[in-house]
Amino acid sequence: MTTETFDLSELGTYKYGFSMPERYVYKARKGLSREIVEEIAWMKGEPDWMREFRLRALEIFLAKPMPTWGADLSAIDFDDIYYYIKPTDRKSRSWEDVPEEIRRTFELLGIPEAERKFLAGVGAQYESEVVYHSLQEHLRKLGVIFVDTDTAVREYPDLVREYFGTVVPPDDNKFAALNSAVWSGGSFIYVPPGVHVDLPLQAYFRINAQNVGQFERTLIIAEEGSFVHYVEGCTAPIYTTDSLHSAVVEIIVKPGARVRYTTIQNWSTNVYNLVTKRAVAYRDAVMEWVDCNLGSKVTMKYPSIYLMEPRARGEILSIAFAGRDQHQDAGGKVIHAAPHTRSRIISKSISKDGGRTSYRGLVRVYPGTEGSTVSVNCDALILDEISRSDTYPYMEIEEDNVTIGHEATVSKISDEQLFYLMSRGIPQEEAAAMIVTGFVEPLVKELPMEYAVEMNRLIRLQMSGSVG
C-alpha cells in the first residue's frame, strides 16, 4: 500500500488558563465535614431550614456510593478540595466596585463588554461567591428577579423555599447531594407572568484557585406565558491538580412559558464537571437546553426535561468536543408524563487527540401519553485513530400510540473532504476546522449570533496548533 493520509494531529490550546493571586477574605480548610457545612451556613447567615437541608444532604452524599456507570471518577479526592472560598466581602452592582484582580479577570473574559452590547443582565461568580450582578432597570420594574441564589434566600425566602430542591432533590444522585450540602452562589431568576425578557441574561462562573470546588445552585422560575433566555459560561486556570465543579440547576416552566438555557462550558482540562440540570415543563410550556461542552477533564451532564402536562415540549441540543485527556459524557434525558408532549434531542460530538465522547441519553414515555413524539439524533465525528466515541441511547417506551424516531451516526473526517477543500487553496488545518464547524453548524446556528461566533472561534482554537 502506498496510501497516505492527511495528518490531523496537533495540540489544542486554551487561552483562559491564566490565574490571579489569591487575596481572599475567607478560605475554608480543605476537606468536607459537618463542621465545614455548618461553617458555610453560618458565614452566609442562613435560616435554619437551609442549614438543615444542607446537613441532610451531606448525610445522603456520604451514604451514596460513587457512580461507576459513566466516566472514570476514581481520581477525585474529596479530602483534597476547598469547598468554600469567599473572594470578597462585597457583591457589586458596578464593575468599579469589584476588586481589581477579579475585575481584570472578567474583563479578560470579555464579560463587561458583552454586557454592554447584548445582555439584559449579568452575574459573575468567582470561586464560591457571586461578586457582581446587574439587571436592566426596565426588567426590574416589570418584576423580573435576577440575583445570586444566596441573595435570593435572604430577600425572597418564600419563593426560594417553595421551589428549592423540588426539581432536583438531594437524593437524586451523589453529586446533587454534594451540591445541596455545600452550595454557594449561582443564579436565581424569577420571571413574572407574561413577561418576555428579550435579551439574554448571562452568568459567568470562574474558578481561580487550585483544588477548588465550585458548587453553584441555580433556580429559574418562569411564570405562565413568560420567556427568558439564560446563558452561562465558565473557565478556569490550568493547574496540575484537579478542581471540581458540581452545580445543580432547577427550572420550573409554568404553562405556556418558554425557557432557553444555553451553556458554553469551557473549563480547563483539570476540572471535573459533574452537573445535574433538570427542568419541569407544564401545559404548553417549552424548555430548551443548548448545552455546549468544550472544556473540562471529565464532564458528566445530561440536562433533563420532565414533560408534566399536555403539549409541553422539550428540546436538548448537545455539542461536545473532547481533546487530549478529556472525556465528555454528555447527552440528555426526557420524561414524557402527559399526552401530546414532544421532545427532540440532537447531539453532535467531536473527539480528537485521544479524547473520548459519549452520548448518554434516556427517553422514558409513560403510559397514557398518547400522541406524543420523540426524536433523538446523535452524530459523532472522530478525528483520528486514537480518539473514541460511544453511544448509550436508552429508550423506555410504555405507550403504543406515540411516534419515536432515533438515528445515530459515527463518521470520520475523510481524506476526500480534506483534499477537496485543500484543492481550493484552504490549508489543511483550516480545512479540518471547516469540516468540524460545518458538522456542528446545525446546532451552533441555534445560539445567539455573538455566542455562535464565540463557539466557532473556540472550535477553531481547539483545532489549531497556534496559540490564540
Partner 1 sequence: MEDALIIRDLHVNVEGKPVLQGVDLVVRRGEIHALMGPNGSGKTTLAYVLMGHPAYPAEQGEVLWKGQNLLELPPDERAHLGLFLAFQYPVAVQGVTVANFLRTALNERRKRLNPEDKGIPIPEFRKLLREKLALLGLEESFASRYVNDGFSGGEKKRLEILQMAVLQPEMAVLDETDSGLDIDGVRTVAEGINRIFGPHLGILLITHYQRILNYIKPHFVHVMYNGRIVASGGPELALELEEKGYEWLREQFAEQPAA
Closest distance to partner 1 from the beta carbon of 347 (Å) = 15
Whose Cβ is closer to partner 1: residue 287's or residue 440's? 440
Closest distance to partner 1 from the beta carbon of 442 (Å) = 6
Closest distance to partner 1 from the beta carbon of 432 (Å) = 11
Residue 290 CB neighbour total at 10 angstroms: 25
Closest distance to partner 1 from the beta carbon of 445 (Å) = 9
What are the cell numbers at 223? Answer: 411564570
Q: How far apart are the first and last CA of the chain?
A: 38
| Nearest 10 degrees: Cα torsion 362, 368, 373, 376 | 10
Whose Cβ is closer to partner 1: residue 167's or residue 418's? 418
Closest distance to partner 1 from the beta carbon of 419 (Å) = 5
Element (H, E) at 277: strand 271-281
Closest distance to partner 1 from the beta carbon of 438 (Å) = 3
Whose Cβ is closer to partner 1: residue 249's or residue 435's? 435
DSSP state of 96: G
Q: Are strands 327-336 and 304-307 parallel, antiparallel or unpaired?
A: parallel
Binding site for partner 1 (CB under 8 A): 1-6, 414-417, 419-428, 430-431, 434-435, 437-442
Whose Cβ is closer to partner 1: residue 114's or residue 431's? 431
Whose Cβ is closer to partner 1: residue 116's or residue 424's? 424
Whose Cβ is closer to partner 1: residue 312's or residue 432's? 432
d(CA 296, CA 185): 20
Whose Cβ is closer to partner 1: residue 46's or residue 430's? 430
Closest distance to partner 1 from the beta carbon of 2 (Å) = 6
SS3 content of the chain, % helix, strand, coil (to 5): 25, 35, 40
List the one residue out of 119, 151, 149 whose CA is nearest residue 135: 119
The dihedral built from the CA positions of residue 46, 48, 53 and 56, taken in this order, carries a sign that is positive
Whose Cβ is closer to partner 1: residue 2's or residue 94's? 2
> Which residues sit opposite 252 in a β-bridge?
221, 280
Whose Cβ is closer to partner 1: residue 407's or residue 441's? 441
- Three-class SS of residue 331? strand
Residue 189 and residue 120 in contact, taking contact as beta carbons nearer than 8 Å = no
Closest distance to partner 1 from the beta carbon of 291 (Å) = 19
Residue 177 and residue 57 in contact, taking contact as beta carbons nearer than 8 Å = yes
Residue 201 and residue 146 in contact, taking contact as beta carbons nearer than 8 Å = yes
d(CA 95, CA 111): 10
Q: How many helices and strands, by DSSP H and E, does the chain display?
A: 11, 24
> Which residues sit opposite 270 in a β-bridge?
none
